[in-house]
């Protein structure tokens, strides 16, 4: 399982029911993605039942499709871009975020936990887009869930875990994991790995999540995928700490990012650009998810004062200082460029290197075309000086090969040639060469060619920035349009779909039931004495009551059920492929969940109840409105018979004997009493409070 937790211990924790787990539509999505015969259309229909997840999925797809020309604006497109495993993991992560935004553990910063998890998710996605070790969207999910063990311990042991956090704050202890093991015989790292393994994440992710906080203990080979993902998680965690630190400590913490980036093959400007991009995305995601974020200064300006004391190489220190002083175009520090020389003549390479380094450029060299190809894809130079004639792979063959790659298309290539014949130069330009330098190389002519190339590179970068701005604007517009659509279909107080959305879904379910012949049920839920609460305590208390009762209903319904708020204190539950007996059982579970919940609002502890009417589609119903009306009549019957009960005016399958019994808080209406009622009478599940 990728952790040291005993399997039996973990199974006991799972069996307790307290372990954070996906809810509602997310659970249905996860189950669907495990089916061998799943169709994207079927998955899209389930996803659309959760408007909030739709917006988050499309936004994530636009991030994963970075660089594509067409922005993702529909669920179907998002599924194609992300793939089923990523959609499953995102449903898991976002469901946990929505369901565990708060809890009973004092001292645990729930909002800070999820804000930090979001930073790690975005960082992992950005790193993946650069190093291509794993799919970017899957790395996003790994970052989001990489510290889930902390939330799990706070959820399972809210009181004791709060005491552990208090010890850390009072400086009586310094290591969270040590304190956790002493208190619970496990730590959050081990529990994170166990949970990720249980949810089916790849072992590659499970192992790295267990070790990224203690990377020195990892035994991964230096160039392995595990090591790269581990280093990426270390960088993501360091950026999380930097962003969430006290402003006075951010500079010192931010300086530690450079050696971590260096291990991933990133130079200073790349680390700065990555961090600034992550912060911008964090602010945007924070607005979408309603998480607390902070404006962070540009990384180059933030770390300049502290970098001299950081454990980075001399080259990196010089680059940080130089980059901060220059303040020039991203990717090109002042007039400096990354230049790759490819020539089989060592004397020529030495000569060119000296000339370029004196001009302030970063220089790399290769002694053959194949090595030059590998190095070009690795260091991504701005410019290349390539000898036209080399054994094994000529400069023109190297140019043609590079132009076939995404990275190679943007490199400015100068061919070094001793031939000034027109046909040779035409062939070079046809192969993709941008310019040429005649051999023997004259320093002034080379400098002029470099300046001309630099102007072209600078213009290319400006164009790319403009394109990226347009892509970002289009993606933001698509997300905003989707958000507006969500707002039009969502009740802002409870987060449930509203009446308009419920009517659309009812029409769809009605049509599907008619085609398949499968049963369809509906519940109408009404909060008992809600008007008295508003009149006695005010509408602010009433709003808190609605939110807390909504949470209880959401926990009690099944994954395939749709809950909507259709009025002030009225809810509609749609139960597809469900007969009346099963719907009555579900309704009773919902009623009990509300009844046992102790609602705290306005300093008051309120015992609340609901009346639920249940109805099943039958042959004499002409349309969905008739089904809702029949369920509403059941709710009216429940109110008339004393409230706090479930009722239907229909007959359950198998007669009255098919109706379930109900246990009261203090009394119990026996099953024999329910069975004794005549089958022609309304079925009422009674509870006397």
Residue 440 pLDDT class (50, 70, 90 cuts): confident
Mean pLDDT, residues 492-504 taken together? 88
pLDDT(616) > 70: yes
Residue ending a domain, choose from 46, 76, 99: 99
Look at residue 38 and tell me if it is in a domain.
yes
- The pLDDT of residue 331 is 37
pLDDT(377) > 80: yes
pLDDT(627) > 90: yes
- The pLDDT of residue 491 is 87
pLDDT(40) > 70: yes
Q: What is the pLDDT of residues 307-339, one digit of tens each?
A: 554 544 555 555 555 544 443 333 333 456 788
Q: Are residues 546 and 663 both part of a single domain?
A: yes
Look at residue 135 and tell me if it is in a domain.
no
Residue 581 pLDDT class (50, 70, 90 cuts): very high
Measured CA to CA, the distance from residue 261 to residue 103 in angstroms comes to 36
Residue 578 pLDDT class (50, 70, 90 cuts): very high
Q: Are residues 554 and 424 both part of a single domain?
A: no
Q: Are residues 392 and 509 both part of a single domain?
A: no
Cβ atoms of 295 and 241 closer than 8 Å: no
Q: Are residues 452 and 538 both part of a single domain?
A: no
Q: Are residues 458 and 504 both part of a single domain?
A: no
Q: How many CB atoms lie within 10 A of CB 399?
A: 24
- The pLDDT of residue 670 is 29
Which one has a higher pLDDT value, 651 or 206? 206
- The pLDDT of residue 253 is 82
pLDDT(672) > 70: no
pLDDT(36) > 60: yes
Q: Are residues 571 and 680 both part of a single domain?
A: yes
Which one has a higher pLDDT value, 135 or 513? 513
First to last CA, the chain: 47
Measured CA to CA, the distance from residue 255 to residue 558 in angstroms comes to 49
Q: Are residues 587 and 674 both part of a single domain?
A: yes
Q: Are residues 643 and 513 both part of a single domain?
A: yes
- The pLDDT of residue 296 is 84
- The pLDDT of residue 68 is 41
CATH code of the domain in which 352 resides: 3.40.50.2300
Look at residue 115 and tell me if it is in a domain.
no
Measured CA to CA, the distance from residue 475 to residue 481 in angstroms comes to 10
Highest mean pLDDT among 472-481, 554-563, 651-660: 554-563
The residue range of the domain holding 438 is 338-462
Measured CA to CA, the distance from residue 658 to residue 679 in angstroms comes to 10
Beta strand 610-616 pairing with 646-648: parallel
Measured CA to CA, the distance from residue 288 to residue 291 in angstroms comes to 8
Residue ending a domain, choose from 410, 445, 462: 462
Residue 639 pLDDT class (50, 70, 90 cuts): very high
Q: Where are the beta strands (DSSP E) in 302-371?
A: 338-342, 362-366
Residue 671 pLDDT class (50, 70, 90 cuts): very low
Residue ending a domain, choose from 440, 462, 484: 462
Q: Are residues 646 and 504 both part of a single domain?
A: yes
Look at residue 403 and tell me if it is in a domain.
yes
Q: What is the pLDDT of residues 158-196, one digit of tens each?
A: 899 988 888 887 765 568 888 888 888 888 999 999 888
pLDDT(661) > 50: no
Mean pLDDT, residues 266-276 taken together? 82
Look at residue 470 and tell me if it is in a domain.
no
Look at residue 160 and tell me if it is in a domain.
no
Q: Is the dihedral of CA 321, 327, 328, 330 positive or negative?
A: positive
Residue 437 pLDDT class (50, 70, 90 cuts): confident
Mean pLDDT, residues 84-98 taken together? 79
Q: What is the pLDDT of residues 449-458, one digit of tens each?
A: 888 888 888 8
- The pLDDT of residue 75 is 75
Beta strand 646-648 pairing with 383-387: unpaired
Mean pLDDT, residues 609-621 taken together? 94
Look at residue 106 and tell me if it is in a domain.
no
Beta strand 662-663 pairing with 646-648: unpaired
Q: Are residues 414 and 510 both part of a single domain?
A: no
Measured CA to CA, the distance from residue 664 to residue 533 in angstroms comes to 23
- The pLDDT of residue 679 is 35
Which long-range CB contacts under 8 A does 361-366 form with residues at least 24 apart?
361/336, 361/337, 362/336, 362/337, 362/338, 363/339, 364/338, 364/339, 364/340, 365/340, 365/341, 366/340, 366/341, 366/342
pLDDT(271) > 80: yes
- The pLDDT of residue 324 is 43
pLDDT(69) > 60: no
- What mean pLDDT is reported for the chain? 80
499, containing H or E segment:
helix 499-516
Which one has a higher pLDDT value, 687 or 163? 163
Rg of the chain over all Cα atoms, to the nearest angstrom: 31
Which one has a higher pLDDT value, 391 or 520? 520
Partners of 437 in beta bridges: 416
- The pLDDT of residue 174 is 65
Kindly list the strands in the beta sheet with 562-565, ordered across the sheet, starting from the edge strand earlier in the chain: 562-565, 570-576, 520-527, 610-616, 646-648, 683-685
Question: Looking at the 3D structure of the chain, how many domains does it have?
Answer: 3
Q: Are residues 356 and 446 both part of a single domain?
A: yes
Look at residue 95 and tell me if it is in a domain.
yes
Cβ atoms of 573 and 628 closer than 8 Å: no
Q: Are residues 366 and 434 both part of a single domain?
A: yes
CATH code of the domain in which 613 resides: 3.30.70.270
Q: How many CB atoms lie within 10 A of CB 538?
A: 12
- The pLDDT of residue 674 is 31
- The pLDDT of residue 386 is 92
- The pLDDT of residue 686 is 53
Which one has a higher pLDDT value, 172 or 477? 477
Measured CA to CA, the distance from residue 330 to residue 334 in angstroms comes to 9
């Amino acid at each position: 399982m990728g952790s040291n937790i005993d399997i039996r211990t973990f199974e006991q924790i799972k069996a307790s029911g307290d372990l954070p787990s996906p809810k509602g539509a997310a659970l249905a999505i996860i189950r669907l993605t495990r089916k061998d015969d799943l169709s994207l259309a079927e998955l899209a229909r389930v996803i659309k039942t959760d408007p909030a997840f739709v917006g988050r999925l499309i936004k994530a797809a636009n991030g994963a499709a970075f660089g594509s020309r067409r922005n993702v604006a529909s669920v179907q497109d998002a599924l194609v871009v992300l793939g089923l495993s990523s959609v499953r993991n995102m449903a898991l992560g976002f469901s946990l975020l929505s369901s565990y935004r708060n809890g009973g553990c004092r001292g645990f910063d729930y909002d800070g936990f999820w804000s930090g998890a979001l930073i790690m998710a975005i960082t992992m996605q950005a790193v993946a887009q650069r190093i291509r070790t794993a799919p970017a969207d899957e790395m996003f999910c790994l970052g989001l869930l990489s510290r889930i063990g902390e939330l799990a311990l706070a959820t399972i042991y809210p009181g004791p875990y709060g005491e552990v956090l208090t010890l850390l704050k009072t400086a009586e202890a310094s290591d969270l994991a040590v304190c956790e093991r002493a208190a619970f015989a496990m730590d959050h790292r081990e529990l994170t790995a166990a949970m990720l393994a249980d949810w089916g994440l790849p072992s590659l992710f499970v192992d790295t999540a267990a070790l990224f906080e203690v990377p020195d203990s990892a035994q991964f080979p230096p160039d392995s995928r595990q090591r790269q993902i581990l280093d990426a998680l270390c960088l993501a965690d360091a950026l999380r700490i930097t962003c969430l630190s006290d402003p006075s400590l951010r500079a010192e913490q931010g300086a530690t990012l450079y050696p971590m980036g260096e291990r991933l093959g990133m130079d200073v400007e790349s680390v700065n650009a990555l961090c600034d991009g992550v912060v911008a995305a964090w602010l945007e995601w924070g607005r979408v998810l309603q998480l607390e974020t902070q404006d962070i200064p540009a990384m180059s300006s933030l770390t300049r004062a502290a970098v001299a004391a950081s454990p980075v190489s001399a080259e990196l220190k010089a680059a940080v200082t130089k980059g901060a002083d220059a303040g020039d175009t991203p990717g090109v520090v002042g007039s400096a460029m990354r230049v790759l020389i490819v020539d089989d003549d060592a004397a020529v390479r030495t000569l060119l290197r000296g000339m370029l380094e004196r001009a302030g450029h970063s220089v790399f060299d290769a002694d053959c075309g194949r090595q030059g190809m590998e190095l070009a894809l690795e260091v991504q130079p701005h410019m290349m000086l390539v000898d036209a004639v080399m054994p094994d792979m000529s400069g023109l063959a190297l140019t043609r090969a590079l132009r076939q790659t995404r990275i190679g298309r943007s490199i400015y290539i100068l061919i070094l040639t001793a031939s000034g014949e027109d046909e040779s130069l035409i062939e070079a330009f046809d192969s993709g060469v941008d310019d040429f330098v005649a051999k023997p190389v004259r320093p002034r002519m080379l400098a002029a060619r470099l300046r001309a190339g630099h102007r072209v590179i600078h213009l290319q970068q400006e164009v790319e920035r403009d394109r990226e701005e347009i892509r970002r604007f289009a993606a933001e517009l698509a997300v905003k349009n989707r958000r507006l659509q969500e707002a039009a279909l969502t009740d802002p107080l409870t987060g449930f779909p509203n009446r308009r959305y419920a009517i659309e879904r009812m029409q769809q379910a009605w049509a599907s039931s008619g085609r398949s012949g499968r049963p369809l049920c509906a519940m109408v839920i009404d909060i008992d004495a809600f008007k008295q609460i508003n009149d006695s305590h005010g509408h602010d208390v009433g709003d808190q009551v609605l939110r807390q009762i909504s949470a209880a209903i959401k926990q009690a319904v099944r994954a395939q059920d749709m809950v909507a708020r259709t009025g002030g204190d009225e809810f509609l539950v749609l139960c597809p492929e469900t007969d009346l007996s099963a719907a009555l059982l579900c309704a009773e579970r919902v009623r009990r969940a509300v009844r046992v919940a102790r609602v705290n609002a306005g300093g008051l502890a309120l015992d609340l109840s609901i009346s639920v009417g249940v109805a099943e589609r039958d042959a004499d119903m002409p349309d969905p409105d008739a089904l809702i009306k029949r369920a509403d009549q059941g709710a009216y019957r429940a109110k008339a018979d004393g409230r706090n009960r479930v009722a239907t005016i229909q007959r359950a399958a198998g007669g009255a004997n098919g109706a379930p019994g109900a246990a009261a808080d203090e009394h119990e209406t026996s099953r024999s009493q329910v069975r004794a009622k005549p089958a022609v009478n309304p079925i009422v599940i009674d509870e006397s409070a």
